[in-house]
Copies of this chain bind each other. A is one copy, B any other.
Amino acid sequence: MARPRNDNFLRALLREPVDYTPVWLMRQAGRYLPEYCETRRRAGNFLNLCKSPSMACEVTLQPLARYSLDAAILFSDILTVPDAMGLGLYFAEGEGPKFERPLREEWEIRDLEAPDPNVHLRYVMDAVVEIRRALDNSVPLIGFSGSPFTLACYMVEGGGSDDFRTVKTMLYNRPDLLHRILEVNTTAVTDYLNAQIESGAQAVQIFDTWGGSLSAAAYQEFSLAYMEKIVAGLKKTHDGERIPCIVFTKGGGQWLESIAAIGCDAIGLDWTTDIGEARRRVGDKVALQGNMDPVALFASPEAIAKEGRRIVDSFGGGTGHVFNLGHGISQFTPPDHVTALVDAVHERSRRS
């Protein structure tokens, strides 16, 4: 299996020379695109969309048809794994994800088991295969999962939370129970990402959306330590190609040195970190991905292009930079504003 025709994304992650700084956007297949909303309407709801390989493939490709993006990311949800564990994922309109059976009792936690991804998450693997076929080796496909701690937040809270009071109370009162959940999640995520790699994902990202809500000490013990185990357990190559791994802890800018030490190939940065400063801190240990404030996409195309160029310049040239937002793109983003960003980053960074 050869690399994609446009492999700048993979080269940047592996710190090999690039033609220009590659760009993709977290949540690039999403509600800001009218064509996405149309497919979602057809699907009936978000979960049907995730669970239909052909519709997941369709929406994965939509942003690539509009913009000169350098990677596709599997369309799915981070909570498919706990759903496959039997917690009963559902989406209440306007309320975000929820679980019918959150983990509250000690026996439920003792009984928790990692699902077989090729059985219980077969629809995800089918989507990966279908997307790879549709991409026809044009750009790489990114697979992903939520981090063990981020999954645990939803599994214990039963949904989103302002303060994660339930899971943090468990952390302080019964760390043994939280560690048990995190152990199972670590096995589950490792198996899930390896199955995605075997199905055709050419890079993987771990989304640690809520690790940054922890104290520095708790982050090391309850989030980073488990991501380190996952990275150690991931297939490093498939079909003769290296499979790079990106770790993104939102709010993790204070902990870059310790994230860089867990063996990942790249760190995702949110927009609060100066990317040039981050590069000086991690040296050539890892590549960096990021990190424009998604809200900057509400500014004028000229102001967006200026901010994109500022970040490219702050990184400072050479390889090792994948341009992205510092968090998922807002559903209210004007779609044509994205063009201004992608073009500005490509133009500023293109080697003459």
Contact = CB atoms under 8 A, between A and B. Distances in A.
Contacts of A217: 274, 310, 314
Given A254-B253, A303-B173, A165 B296 contact: no
Q: How many copies does the complex hold?
A: 2
A272 B254 contact: yes
Interface residues of A, number: 40
Contact of A277 (B216, B251, B293): B216
A259 B217 CA distance: 23
A272 B212 contact: yes
A216 B295 contact: no
Contact of A274 (B168, B216, B296): B216
B164 A295 contact: yes
Nearest to A295: B168
Interface string A283-318: 000000001111110111001100100100010000
A274 B217 CA distance: 7
Nearest to A302: B173
A272 B218 CA distance: 9
B299 A163 contact: no
A293 B215 contact: yes
A172 B307 CA distance: 8
A271 interface: yes
Nearest to A330: B163
A214 interface: yes
Contacts of A214: 272, 293
B215 A163 contact: no
A91 interface: no
Given A272-B212, A295-B168, A310-B217, A173 B251 contact: no
5 contacts: A165-B332, A168-B293, A168-B296, A169-B299, A216-B274
What are the 3 A-B residue pairs with the smallest beta carbon separation, nearest first? A172-B299, A216-B274, A172-B303
Interface of A: 163-165, 168-169, 172-173, 212-219, 251, 253-254, 271-274, 277, 291-296, 298-300, 303-304, 307, 310, 314, 326, 330, 332
